[in-house]
């Protein structure tokens, strides 16, 4: 399926650019023009023939500069954004400039400080390149198309270096993760094979809940666009939290059924596509009438949701489709537009609650629309299919960074902070369903009980000013325990009135 590029013996580069772009480079040695003989140290070897890899062609410009061409999505030349490749046979202290010259999108977070990620065999943790080494500009040498150039210095000659658009999350990584969950034999988690992709890869469905009846149902999908790898980290954050022993997770499992499809487009992810499936389809435009042979994963998910919607025993309240955004910061949501104003207000509740729980989520970036071009998306289609008590959202997270409240400096996302957003998404259902009073977190500890008794005793003293100080400073802190809220409200009125009377008495005495 992937074609190996042909190496020209004279130039050390590929011949037949159009042909080479069909597949990824395969251990391609790029040598100076006119060079012959075995490659020398510093003659870079490029490779993208691995899972989720993408690099279609390399042009030698000089010993220090190379033009790199992204391979388009399979069967669809429109999309060229994701790249993921390795470089080896480097020379220590060798400095290079790589130019990614054929992006299909002009708008990019590279204009706002985003940078590619890199790791090496001796440093296997992904990290972002320094933004000062990355440039995004219109290039006259490439028909004024936008080019992203980055400078890099290889520091270990025996290392293999890997560069990517964003932190990769492969199909194999998901399978290893789900298999490890399965081996734990958790009584509240079930893994099912919902279907197979065109290339016979698994379409997994997770169901997470405790035994019980009459529960709300939340359906979550991810990676319909294969190059949007942050969506998988968010999704894993949701799953990790829901299967944990955290008190909030236990309460959620008691009251809610979570059904999760972690990777809706496994073929596209495996192939290193940015937006499309193996056959070149943007699956998130085919929800209205998916084909069982051309879009089998989408067809299987839609069938399941339609069946659940027709089952009177199932209350499907949420559908959330997780994506990553290439031009905006923060996490945010897209929702639907309704004629009923009350439904519009109800739909805004969950994003508002998420904004309170997640420092990287922006309600101001959240928008509700009915764009014609989005009619085939999961959010739009299911928003019209499900009844008016259900809410369908697209959850977006930036490929680059978020802007914390009160800060003017963006904070780049990491794998961990993407997962933390997933955790906060899961926790927000506790607030939405008003289950806070059921969590063990809210049961006062012995030390909290002791502090409260001391505060109450101090409030009952005859010193009015001191009593007011206790009410102002101690009780608001202790009020974080909801079990004490009723008692405190009952005490607060009489104590405040008593303090006022005592204060008036003392004022009369001094007059």
What is the CA angle 474-433-435, rounded to 5?
45
Pick from 450, 494, 448: nearest CA to 471: 494
pLDDT (tens digit, 9 = 90+) per residue, 387-439?
989 999 999 999 999 999 888 899 999 999 999 999 999 999 999 998 877 76
- What is the rounded distance in angstroms from the CA atom of residue 160 to the CA atom of residue 183? 33
Is residue 152 scored above 90 in pLDDT? Answer: yes
DSSP for 266-333, please give it: HHHHHHT-SS--TTS--GGG-SSS--TTTSHHHHHHHHHHHHHHH-TT-EEEEEEEEEEESS--SEEE
- What is the rounded distance in angstroms from the CA atom of residue 260 to the CA atom of residue 244? 16
Quote the radius of gyration of the chain (alpha carbons, Å).
Answer: 28
DSSP for residue 70: P
Is residue 296 scored above 80 in pLDDT? Answer: yes
How far does Cα 243 stand from its chain's mean position? 18
Query: What pLDDT is recorded for position 406?
Result: 83
Is residue 320 scored above 90 in pLDDT? Answer: yes
**Is 396 assigned a catalytic role?**
yes
Residue 148, both tokens: 């992203």
If DSSP codes are grouped into helix, strand and coil, which group holds residue 58? strand
Residue-averaged pLDDT of the chain: 86
Query: What pLDDT is recorded for position 407?
Result: 86
Is residue 130 scored above 80 in pLDDT? Answer: yes
Asked whether the beta carbons of 99 and 149 are under 8 A apart, the reply is yes
Catalytic residue (one of 396, 415, 491, 497): 396
Structure confidence at residue 442 as a pLDDT band (50, 70, 90)? low
Query: What pLDDT is recorded for position 495?
Result: 43
- What is the rounded distance in angstroms from the CA atom of residue 15 to the CA atom of residue 19? 8
Query: What pLDDT is recorded for position 27?
Result: 96
Is residue 80 scored above 90 in pLDDT? Answer: yes
Q: Which range, 381-385, 438-442, 458-462, is most confident?
A: 381-385
If DSSP codes are grouped into helix, strand and coil, which group holds residue 511? coil
Q: Reduce the secondary structure of 339-402 to three states and give it as a string.
A: CCHHHHHHHCHHHHHHHHHCCCECCCCCEECCCHHHCCCHHHHHHHHCCCCCEEEEEEEECCEE
pLDDT (tens digit, 9 = 90+) per residue, 153-189?
999 999 999 999 999 999 999 999 999 999 999 999 9
Query: What pLDDT is recorded for position 1?
Result: 36
Query: What pLDDT is recorded for position 12?
Result: 36
Of 7-21, 23-37, 204-218, 356-370, which range is least confident? 7-21
pLDDT (tens digit, 9 = 90+) per residue, 203-228?
999 999 999 888 999 999 999 999 99
Is residue 335 scored above 60 in pLDDT? Answer: yes
């Amino acid at each position: 399926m992937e074609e190996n590029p042909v190496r020209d013996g004279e130039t050390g580069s590929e011949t037949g650019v159009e042909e080479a772009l069909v597949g990824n480079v395969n251990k391609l040695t790029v040598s100076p023009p006119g060079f012959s003989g075995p490659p020398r140290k510093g003659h870079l070897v490029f490779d993208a023939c691995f899972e989720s890899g993408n690099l279609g062609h390399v042009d030698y410009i000089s010993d220090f500069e190379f033009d790199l061409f992204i391979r388009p999505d399979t069967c669809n030349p429109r999309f060229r954004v994701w790249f993921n490749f390795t470089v080896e046979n480097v020379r220590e202290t060798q400095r290079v400039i790589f130019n990614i010259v054929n992006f299909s999108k002009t708008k990019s977070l590279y204009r706002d400080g985003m940078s590619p990620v890199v790791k090496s065999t001796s440093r296997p943790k992904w990290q972002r390149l320094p933004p000062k080494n990355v440039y995004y500009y219109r290039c006259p040498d490439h028909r004024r198309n936008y080019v992203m150039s980055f400078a890099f210095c290889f520091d270990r000659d025996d290392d293999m270096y890997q560069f990517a658009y964003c932190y990769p999350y492969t199909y194999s990584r998901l399978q290893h993760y789900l298999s490890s969950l399965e081996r734990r034999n958790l009584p509240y988690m079930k893994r099912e094979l919902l279907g197979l992709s065109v290339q016979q890869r698994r379409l997994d469905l997770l169901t997470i809940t405790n035994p019980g009846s009459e529960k709300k149902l939340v359906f979550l999908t991810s990676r319909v666009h294969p190059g949007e790898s942050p969506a998988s980290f968010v999704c894993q954050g949701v799953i990790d939290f829901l299967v944990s022993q955290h008190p909030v997770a236990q309460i959620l499992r008691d009251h809610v059924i979570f059904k999760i499809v972690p990777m809706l487009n496994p073929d596209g992810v495996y192939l290193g596509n940015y937006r499309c499936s193996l056959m070149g389809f943007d699956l998130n435009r085919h929800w209205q009438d998916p084909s069982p042979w051309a879009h089998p994963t989408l067809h299987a998910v839609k069938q399941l949701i339609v069946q659940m919607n027709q089952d009177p025993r199932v209350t499907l309240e949420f559908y959330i489709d997780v994506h990553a955004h290439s031009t905006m910061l923060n996490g945010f949501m897209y929702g639907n537009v309704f004629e009923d104003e009350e439904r519009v207000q109800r739909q805004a509740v969950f994003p508002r609650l998420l904004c309170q729980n997640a420092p990287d989520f922006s309600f101001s970036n959240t928008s509700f629309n009915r764009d014609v071009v989005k009619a085939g998306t999961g959010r739009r289609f299911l928003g019209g299919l499900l009844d008016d008590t259900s809410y369908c959202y697209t959850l977006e997270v930036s490929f680059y960074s978020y802007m914390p409240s009160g800060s003017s400096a963006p904070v780049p996302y990491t794998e961990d902070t993407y997962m933390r957003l997933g955790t906060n998404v899961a926790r927000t259902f506790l607030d939405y369903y008003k289950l806070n009073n059921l969590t063990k977190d809210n049961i006062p500890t012995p030390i909290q009980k002791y502090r409260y008794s001391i505060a109450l005793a101090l409030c009952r003293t005859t010193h009015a000013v001191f009593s007011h100080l206790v009410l102002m400073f101690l009780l608001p802190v202790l009020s974080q325990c909801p079990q004490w809220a009723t008692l405190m409200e009952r005490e607060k009125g009489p104590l405040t009135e008593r303090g006022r009377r005592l204060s008036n008495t003392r004022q009369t005495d001094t007059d």
